[in-house]
């Protein structure tokens, strides 16, 4: 199928980034969320990002206007009826994902692919909410979407090879490199590599081996990472990090390495979720 219009469900930090890069690639984009205020905030964030690009000379004001003109927002799921490809970027919880996919299955054409931006949840289980499991695929982008080059294209148990190929092709047209995750495993490739190094960083801190500042510095200067583990956890959100930890512990109980840090749990309970709340491992209000 020739994909010309992409539907994006959710306009949080991931959804707005996906909508932006899709529009930048020339796709018409229809973004659906539950509330007009949320949609306005998401569009405002896209506008701010593009304004900086104009200031830096990376695009013209006319190009920015044309890009924004390709993004339509709505609170009505029925407005996704005519899109050619879906990328869902809703809240990272299985019950939420399955509710969204049941709705999408009802309103969209049977032949289109339903993609999910989940970072760790089972594609196979999400697909059970639809009557087209062969058309459900993981499309895991990375934050911030306009800057990160990777998309994990994840195969569910019943996902067809044509669906995987179409997911990879859409990612390519959006200017991304893709990797195929051939088996539907918890947290796929990147998070299976990343979460253990977060856990080890927290163990180093809790046992007094080093400060979080020095652990971050060591990762950046010794491993050439752009951000240290505590900085990265704050950037992505401690609540998301804890959720992925707990999901891996539930799904892979035989592997004790997934045990969540007590300090991480307490920070989340205190509402200190990282940059988005002004404080996490670090205080961003200073």
166 plus 96 within the same structural domain: yes
Tell which residue, 86, 187, 80, has the closest CA to residue 127: 86
Catalytic residue ranges: 119, 140, 152, 191
Q: Is the peptide bond before 109 cis (omega within 30 degrees of 0)?
A: no
Kindly list the strands in the beta sheet with 113-116, ordered across the sheet, starting from the edge strand earlier in the chain: 71-74, 28-32, 5-9, 85-88, 113-116, 136-140, 150-155, 177-181
* CATH code, domain carrying 91: 3.40.50.720
- pLDDT tens-place string over residues 204-258: 999 999 999 999 999 999 999 999 999 999 998 999 889 888 888 888 887 767 7
> In degrees rounded to 5, what are phi and psi of residue 123?
-65, -40
89 to each of 71, 102, 256, 285, how far by Cα in Å? Answer: 16, 15, 30, 28
The total of structural domains in the chain comes to 2
- pLDDT tens-place string over residues 134-145: 999 999 999 899
138 plus 196 within the same structural domain: no
In this prediction, residue 1 carries a pLDDT of 73
DSSP state of 135: G
* CATH code, domain carrying 215: 1.10.1040.10
46 plus 172 within the same structural domain: yes
174 plus 78 within the same structural domain: yes
- For the cut 90, the answer to whether the pLDDT of residue 66 exceeds it is yes
52 within some domain: yes
CA 110/CA 113 separation, integer angstroms = 8
18 within some domain: yes
CA 115/CA 164 separation, integer angstroms = 10
72 plus 156 within the same structural domain: yes
163 to each of 7, 16, 78, 262, how far by Cα in Å? Answer: 16, 24, 23, 41
> In degrees rounded to 5, what are phi and psi of residue 58?
-85, -20
263 plus 231 within the same structural domain: yes
- pLDDT tens-place string over residues 2-27: 999 999 999 999 999 999 999 999 99
- For the cut 70, the answer to whether the pLDDT of residue 190 exceeds it is yes
226 within some domain: yes
In this prediction, residue 281 carries a pLDDT of 96
125 plus 202 within the same structural domain: no
pTM: 0.89
Name the residue range of residue 205's domain: 191-276
């Amino acid at each position: 199928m020739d994909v010309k219009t992409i539907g994006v469900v959710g306009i949080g930090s991931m959804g707005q980034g996906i909508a932006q890069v899709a529009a930048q690639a020339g796709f018409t984009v229809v973004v659906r969320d539950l509330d007009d205020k949320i949609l306005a905030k998401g569009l405002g964030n896209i506008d701010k990002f593009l304004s900086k690009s104009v200031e830096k000379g990376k695009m013209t004001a006319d190009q920015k206007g044309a890009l924004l003109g390709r993004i339509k927002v709505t609170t009505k799921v029925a407005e996704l009826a005519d899109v050619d490809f879906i990328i869902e970027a809703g809240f990272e919880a299985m019950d939420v994902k399955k509710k969204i996919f049941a709705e999408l299955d009802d309103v969209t054409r049977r032949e289109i692919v339903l993609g999910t931006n989940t970072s760790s949840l089972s594609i196979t289980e999400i697909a059970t909410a639809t009557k087209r499991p062969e058309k459900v695929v993981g499309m895991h982008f990375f934050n911030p979407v306009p800057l990160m080059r990777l998309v994990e294209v994840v195969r569910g148990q019943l996902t067809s090879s044509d669906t995987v190929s179409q997911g990879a092709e859409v990612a390519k047209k959006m200017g991304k490199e893709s990797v195929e995750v051939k088996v539907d495993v918890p947290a796929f490739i990147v998070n299976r590599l990343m979460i253990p190094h977060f856990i080890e960083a927290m163990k180093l801190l809790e046992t007094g081996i080093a400060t979080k500042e020095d652990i971050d510095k060591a990762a950046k200067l010794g491993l050439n990472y752009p951000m240290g583990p505590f900085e990265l956890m704050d950037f992505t959100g401690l609540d998301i990090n804890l959720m992925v930890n707990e999901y891996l512990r539930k799904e892979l109980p035989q592997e004790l390495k997934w045990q969540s840090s007590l300090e991480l749990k307490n920070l989340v309970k205190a509402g200190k979720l990282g940059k988005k709340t002004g404080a996490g491992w670090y205080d961003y209000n200073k």
